[in-house]
């Protein structure tokens, strides 16, 4: 599989069988993003919550590519009312697209649809676990603070191989909390996200890497530049 970071919390995950999944497609207004909306052709778009820096260009990309939109129940109703094909889920549930199983998990954050003139309720913010065809699991935490179920549910039950964790502080975990999250989740590979997009969430990913490796020396912290792809 290939994992391309598009900056902020936007990732494109390409499965071995060719399924292209776009997570939190904040592209056109994302100062860190190096690709254009027109260059993305996903089969599936997963949105962790309704905030503009995650919802992003989801509808425009879905409209152009015919991608299926996945979000919580409230977001899926919103998508459907805009005439888009969508699939609603909720915390603890799974849904399969081709041979990739998607599980919606908790995130400790808020979620409204905040880019409309009238702010609409957006249900609960979430994270996703993608179980790829070969069995590898990728956890995208969305926006979240540290919470205990990262250990008891995400770590002990789902056991993701790769975890994408926000480290920007202010709206999410900071490096210190994210390093604890990394230990609780127990993934062998950690990718920091949601930092350095704006001055307000400026962080040094190498500092985060040191914090993680001080706790668990065998954990690999994969620091990508926006636009860069990790392959395995």
x-or-dash string of contact with Ni ion, 128-167, rule CB under 5 A? ---------------x------------------------
Closest CA to 107 of 150, 44, 156: 150
Q: Does 43 bind Ni ion (CB under 5 A)?
A: no
Q: Which is nearer to Mn ion, 175 or 219 (CB)?
A: 175
Q: Whole-number minimum distance, CB 54 to Mn ion, in Å?
A: 6
Phi, psi values for residue 48, rounded to 5°: -75, -30
Nearer to Mn ion, 53 or 169 (CB): 53
Given the DSSP bridges, would you call strands 137-140 and 162-166 parallel, antiparallel or unpaired? Answer: parallel
Size of the site for Mn ion (CB under 5 A): 2
Q: Which of 4, 8, 20, 51 binds Ni ion (CB under 5 A)?
A: 51
Tell the smallest beta-carbon distance from residue 71 to Ni ion (Å): 13
CB 162 within 8 A of CB 139: yes
Report which of 199, 139, 148, 149 is spatially closest to residue 169, judged by C-alpha positions.
Answer: 199
Residues in contact with Mn ion, shown as a per-residue x/- string from 32 to 61 under the rule CB under 5 A: ---------------------x--------
83/200 with CB nearer Mn ion: 200
Where in 140-159 is the site for Mn ion (CB under 5 A)?
143
Q: How far is the CB of 9 from Ni ion (least distance, A)?
A: 9
Q: How many CB atoms lie within 10 A of CB 32?
A: 17
Question: In angstroms, rounded to a whole number, what is the distance separating the alpha carbons of residues 145 and 176?
Answer: 11
Torsion of Cα atoms, 4 then 10 then 12 then 13, to 10°: 90
Tokens of 61: 């990309």
Distance of alpha carbon 72 from alpha carbon 50, whole angstroms: 9
Interaction site with Ni ion (CB under 5 A): 51, 143
Enumerate binding residues for Mn ion (CB under 5 A).
Answer: 53, 143
């Amino acid at each position: 599989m290939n994992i391309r970071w598009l900056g902020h919390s936007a990732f494109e995950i390409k499965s071995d069988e060719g399924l292209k999944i776009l997570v939190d497609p904040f592209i056109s207004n994302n100062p860190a993003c190096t690709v254009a909306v027109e260059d993305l052709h996903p089969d599936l778009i997963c949105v962790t919550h309704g905030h503009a820096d995650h919802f992003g260009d989801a509808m425009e990309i879905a409209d152009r590519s015919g991608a299926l939109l996945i979000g919580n129940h409230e977001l899926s109703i919103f998508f459907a009312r805009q005439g888009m094909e969508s699939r609603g889920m909720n915390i603890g549930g799974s849904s399969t697209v081709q041979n990739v199983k998607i599980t919606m998990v908790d995130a400790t954050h808020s979620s409204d649809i905040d880019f409309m003139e009238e702010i609409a309720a957006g249900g609960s913010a979430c994270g996703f676990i993608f179980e790829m065809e070969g069995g590898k699991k990728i956890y995208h935490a969305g926006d979240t603070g540290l919470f205990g179920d990262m250990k008891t549910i995400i770590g002990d039950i789902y056991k993701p191989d790769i975890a994408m964790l926000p480290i920007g502080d202010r709206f999410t975990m900071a490096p210190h909390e994210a390093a604890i999250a990394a230990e609780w989740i127990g993934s062998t590979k950690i990718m920091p996200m949601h930092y350095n997009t704006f001055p307000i969430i400026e962080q040094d990913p190498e500092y985060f890497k040191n914090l993680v490796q001080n706790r668990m020396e065998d954990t690999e912290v994969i620091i990508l530049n926006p636009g860069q792809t990790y392959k395995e």
